[in-house]
Amino acid sequence: MDRLRMRTTLLIPLLILSFGCTLLSLLVIRTIVKQQTQTNLASDLQHSVKTYRNFQHQQRELLARESALLADLPSLKSLMTTNDQRTIEDGGVEFWEVSGSDVFALLDQSGKVIAAYNRGPALSRIGVAHGLAAGLHNPDPILLALDDRIYEISMQPLYFGPKEHGTLLGYVAVGYAIDEHVARAVSEAAAAEVAFTVDGRVVVSTLSAGLQQQFVARGGELLQLPTQNRNIQLGSVDYLAASERLTMSESQDGSIQVPQIVVLKSFEGATQLVDRVNRWVLTLALLALVAGTGMLVSISRTLTRPIETLVGGTRALAQGNFDYQLSEDGAEEIRELSRAFERMRIQLQRSQKELLDSERLATIGRMASSISHDLRHYLSAMYANAEFMSDGNISQPEREELMLEVQTAVQGMTDLLESLLLFTQTGRALHPEHESIALMIQRAVSMVRSHPGSRDVKIKLNGLSSLEAWVDSKKLGRAVYNLLLNACQAAKRGKGPPVVTLSLYEDEQSIGIRIADTGPGVPPSIRQKIFLPFVSEGRESGIGLGLTLAQQIAQEHGGGITLDQTSEGETVFTINLPKASLQALGVVVERRTAPTYAPANGEG
């Protein structure tokens, strides 16, 4: 089993490395091909738009020549001299049919439409009039959007006599529609899908009906504004699209209609190329993986047996067994590794013993130094005050003040010894009772108020209620006492009046005891280690076990203590007690005290 596990351990990194390299190669190749395809398609889009521009230029030249020929026909001029609308409308049909155009119109000298003809559904007369009026004095062909159709129109004036000093008879307008034939011709020349739009509406395109509906729904600004290199998906095919404004023309109601051409180049060819590359790379990666796996299996058979011994030694060392002996079998490299491991084992065994001894001595030294310092301080105060009290010349008030200082020293030594005793008992079983939390807090507050360290400190209580819970009231009361006493000592060092506020609150999940003081705050140097033993700074007395004991007691109840805030004028510690943990203590007590019944004689 160990040998199989070791081979698996060697094989898995190779598999991960191989698949990782394969995936990275696929991503790099795909990215390069896609970027190159994007560049090529963008270039093709520009060529496609230029192709349409060339096509449009040729169409306009033909249209201009055709309109010029019509304007020179004497018969057309004669028709216009009649100035009779019905005669001109009837006679204009012949010229329209001769021209073979999609739209044909005759206008009078002021530009008013006299006769207008078009193929397909009849155009709005007002729309034709507005559109032709916009290009009346334009010598070049114009592009007009009329009733969701786009027309290329050329207008020429009709003169009686020479153009330079003849009489203006009117105007002739000839135009061709940009329809499916034009779109298909541009599409074939550009090797792309083509669509012509007017104000976001597709007039004509080479797309199928289904794709055209998707194009209208997803096109967005591509249908209305000039846009370059926009990605869009139609059906299951990705396209790179570009749109360009053809001209500006005025609509029937005076608003501006904007004809545009949209060219869409498909990614389908590039996607097929990427798929072929992916298949080749994946095939080569699988072949390399199979070959590498075979080599690994062959090599692992010659390595796993001698390495098994090293694995066993490593496990023994991890479990603390420093007496495990290694054999020196296998190749030279394995034997050298075994000898190095043996030297390391001996060194670690020696270092562990030295570390434990030094840590034990250091802990004892820190504790002895702190205890001796505080005991020496209390004893010195007691000795000095006792000498003063033995003097028969001092007054009674002075004697009482000296006695109070002696009591303070005795109280400090008592607190120190109780802290040490409780510290040595940490981890013992709790003795929980269903106790009133408020009553426990009041007992702790009374003890603190009788302590000299809380003299002149105002202690405020908020939110005390009839809340009850399963707690070890003696230990938890000690934790509250320690926090309150520390808060009082800190508040006396603050700049303002010394005030300590204790608040009791609860929610659905926990009970909280919040203790805030107006002291100078916890120094930054000890904030990260304030709950460690023998950590104390800026206090009048104590060996640094108060917060440590309070934290351990809270943890024994399933909770903890946090330093929520510390700054000049406000420091907040909170004891958090999860209700679920306290309820679990009660369940243990109830099981322990549940009566047991012995079966009566004759029963079961």
**262 or 12: which carries more pLDDT confidence?**
262
Predicted local confidence at residue 604, as pLDDT: 39
Please, how many CA atoms are within 13 Å of residue 519, restricted to the half-sphere of its CB? Answer: 27
Q: Residue 322 and residue 305: Cα distance in Å, rounded?
A: 22
The two tokens of residue 153 are 């129109």
Q: Residue 108 and residue 95: Cα distance in Å, rounded?
A: 16
Whether residue 233 has pLDDT greater than 50? yes
Per-residue confidence at 512, pLDDT binned at 50, 70, 90?
very high
Give the mean model confidence (pLDDT) for residues 333-358. Answer: 71
Predicted local confidence at residue 603, as pLDDT: 44
DSSP annotation string for 84-148: -HHHHHHHHHHHHHHHT-SEEEEE-TTS-EEEEEESSSPPPHHHHHHHHHHTTT-SS-EEEEETT
In the chain, domain spans: 72-177, 191-266, 429-590
Predicted local confidence at residue 376, as pLDDT: 62
Give the mean model confidence (pLDDT) for residues 318-326. Answer: 66
| Cβ contact 298:43 at 8 Å | no
The two tokens of residue 600 are 């009566």
Fold type of domain 429-590: Heat Shock Protein 90 (3.30.565)
* CB contact set of 33 (below 8 Å; sequence gap of 6+): 270, 273, 274, 277
What are 237-253's pLDDT values in tens digits?
A: 888 888 877 765 554 44
Cα dihedral 324, 328, 329, 335 in deg (nearest 10): 120
Phi and psi angles of residue 429, each rounded to the nearest 5 degrees, phi first:
-65, 145
What are 132-183's pLDDT values in tens digits?
A: 887 777 777 877 777 778 888 888 888 888 877 788 888 888 888 888 888 8
**500 or 431: which carries more pLDDT confidence?**
500
- In 3-state terms, what secondary structure has residue 498? coil
H-helix segments, 453-507: 473-491
Which segment of 26-35, 215-224, 375-384, 463-472 scores lowest on mean pLDDT?
375-384
The pairing of strands 458-462 and 499-506 is: parallel
| Cβ contact 494:520 at 8 Å | yes
The two tokens of residue 246 are 């053809």
Per-residue confidence at 332, pLDDT binned at 50, 70, 90?
low
CA-to-CA dists, residue 413 to 124, 315, 405, 407, 419, angstroms:
109, 49, 13, 10, 10
**Would you tell me how many other CB atoms lie within 10 Å of the CB of residue 11?**
15
* CB contact set of 99 (below 8 Å; sequence gap of 6+): 66, 70, 174
| Cβ contact 335:329 at 8 Å | yes
The CATH class for the domain spanning 72-177 reads alpha beta
Predicted local confidence at residue 299, as pLDDT: 61
